[in-house]
Chains A and B, each alone.
Chain A
Amino acid sequence: MKILAVDDSRIVRRLVGAAAAVIGAECGEAGEGGEALRLLEADPEGYSLVCLDWNMPGMDGISFLRALRADPRWKTLPVLMLTAVADRESVLAAIKAGATAYMPKPFNETDLQAKMLDCLGLGFD
């Protein structure tokens, strides 16, 4: 299982990587949306979840999300928005653009792990 961390902050990418490791996943990294699309293109079925920042230089989170959902290969790929923008309108805009879930920044690793598991539909029965 592989998770893609798309964030211009190296610290956030590292946090996502650690949370991925705890739940037993590997983590790929991209600093903005365009780079993330290239990584997905290179391995279209390789990722189970994208953790996505909103504001990034280059292609931002919402533009990336729209591009992702416009491609039938990634219509159902879960996307978790990690964002400091968490007012109701922005959240609704993200959900409308195809985000599966969101997590307001700042967050801690433990909450992030739980959210990732939730997005992946993983649990223990």
Chain B
Amino acid sequence: MDAQKVDMYLISNNKFFTPYQLGVLRDYLIKLDDSKSFALHSAELKDPTMMLIVSIIAGSLGIDRFLIGDTGMGIGKLLTCGGLGIWWLVDLFLIMDRTKEVNFNRTMALIV
């Protein structure tokens, strides 16, 4: 892909990834064939800030974990009143990084 296109993509999507992941993605996207760029744009990325809001409001029902695809953990939170409130609290600090990790894995799965 064109370096300018890659940079545009990374600038417009930087909130979905950590700075380290952006660096790794850039290396891969530069080498990416143009025919795969459509798949890249079709990747369903979750907004970490939105996930944090969901986690605050409905985290003890595990909805935050369901939304990012961690179904097992979602059920676990749902069945334990958000891990007796502790898991809910801990997830407030973890959910944004986990969302970025899921976004990165989804994007990598499409381009590698």
- The finding on whether chains A and B are genuine partners in a shared complex, rather than unrelated, reads no
Binding site for B on A (CB under 8 A): none
Binding site for A on B (CB under 8 A): none
